[in-house]
Chains A and B, each alone.
Chain A
């Protein structure tokens, strides 16, 4: 990033003054990664586009709710993923609901394979060691992993995660409970 760029927080503050250009800058900066991440949560590009639109309209209308601390990106993601959930609920497109997120090409070859493998730095970022939590996560069933990702990484409540995944709230809790037990067991085994 160039040092002279206006920080996100100032742009959000400018929204309250009705500065549409500020929203445009925010959009150009954040819409790409938001759309990629939303696409990972929902396989229907139309629903993702609707959620992204709702998200930035909400940002414009409710910029006053920004408390001024923390990452703007995290705030945006919180809005975007919840808009996605309400779009999924309203549309009742059960087929468009989150499908199990497996990589498109499960066996990448050559250089791509090495690239797709997590690097040491990535492991450090998550606070995980090689052969530790990362592998344990990889060994979880796709259903359990989806629950862990929605609740732990996306910061959703079990109710919201249930809506995103199209499963009852109790199922989310059960799967999360089992997933945690499985992770603990795997990690304990990995150390020995």
Chain B
């Protein structure tokens, strides 16, 4: 008999309207909710009483989300590392993380390694020239009109350029550094020197960033790279075997100081990282 009542009783429109408007008392609300769970008839009777506008909006968003292109692997990795969807997309849109860039990076390192195995002197020179410039390339490839396929959108977006530049540069360095470490152990000299090149790398990257507040990132990277290669060649000039002297213990604090000064300069002038100035 009880089940009979359950099957044939239905909430009337007034009760449903009161429930939809939030006007029912708690025991009635509970009663209606329990009934709705098992009664398709009353669920359909309730539907016309609900404001359809927000529901249409939610459906549009559901359909958008389901039909959006699936996220790329890069975006998924970036998202897992704690970036928001928006940041992940911006990181992935830099060419630095494309296959071609990775391939070039690998070739570059391969070149260093083979050079080292073929001739210690010239190979060491090649490594010293290239390895510390990896982060500089990272910065150069990470930002700017030439590097960015969605540059116009980047320009118009209300997004801090400093954040974008650092975000992308870090994403490239994270990929580039482990590869450089593979090449480092073949460097001639004491074992600690394999890690010592990180200091000039830091100084060069910081210099590039600091310069980029005056000139374009690509030009800044070019200037820094030329300076570094020239320094290596000058040191190597008189005696070819001593190129590794650019990493000698007394010089290392100089790199550190240079890098820190450049980093502070960049930090203080980061508001000069004007996007509009560079396109004009």
Interface residues of A (CB under 8 A from B): 1, 8, 20, 23-24, 27-33, 35-37, 39-40, 45, 49, 52-53, 56-57, 60, 71, 73-74, 77, 101, 103-105, 108, 111-112, 115-119, 121-126, 128, 133-135, 137-138, 145, 149, 153
Contacts and interface: CB of A to CB of B under 8 A. Distances in A.
Interface residues of B, number: 47
A105 B28 contact: no
Contacts of B36: 33, 37, 73
Given A27-B62, A53-B62, A35 B31 contact: no
A83 B41 CA distance: 26
B59 A134 contact: no
Contact of A52 (B15, B19, B47, B58): B58
Given A40-B29, A115-B18, A122-B32, 7 more contacts: A32-B46, A33-B50, A73-B40, A115-B14, A116-B18, A117-B28, A118-B25
Contact of A27 (B27, B59, B65): B59
A126 B23 contact: no
B55 A149 contact: no
Interface in B48-66: 49-50, 54-55, 57-59, 61-63, 65-66
Nearest to A60: B66
A124 to B, nearest CB: 5
B196 to A, nearest CB: 44
A184 to B, nearest CB: 17
Contacts of A49: 54, 57-58
A104 B26 CA distance: 11
25 contacts: A1-B41, A1-B44, A20-B67, A23-B62, A28-B47, A29-B43, A29-B44, A31-B59, A32-B46, A33-B36, A33-B43, A36-B19, A36-B20, A49-B57, A71-B38, A73-B37, A73-B43, A118-B27, A118-B28, A119-B15, A122-B28, A124-B2, A126-B34, A145-B26, A149-B30
Nearest to A36: B20
Contacts, number: 144
A33 B47 contact: yes
A117 B57 CA distance: 34
B118 interface: no
Given A1-B41, A74-B37, A57 B65 contact: yes
Interface of B: 2, 5-6, 9, 11, 14-15, 18-38, 40-41, 43-44, 46-47, 49-50, 54-55, 57-59, 61-63, 65-67
The B contact surface, by secondary structure, is: helix
Contacts of B9: 121, 124-125
Given A31-B59, A40-B29, A125 B6 contact: yes
B30 A137 contact: yes
Interface centre among B11, B14, B23 (most CB of A within 10 A): B23
B50 A115 contact: no
Contact of B59 (A24, A60, A115, A137): A24
Given A30-B43, A33-B46, A123 B31 contact: yes
Most buried by B among A31, A108, A119, A134: A31
A37 B43 CA distance: 11
B194 to A, nearest CB: 44
Contacts of A108: 18, 23
A36 B46 contact: yes
B55 A138 contact: no
Contacts of A33: 36, 43, 46-47, 50
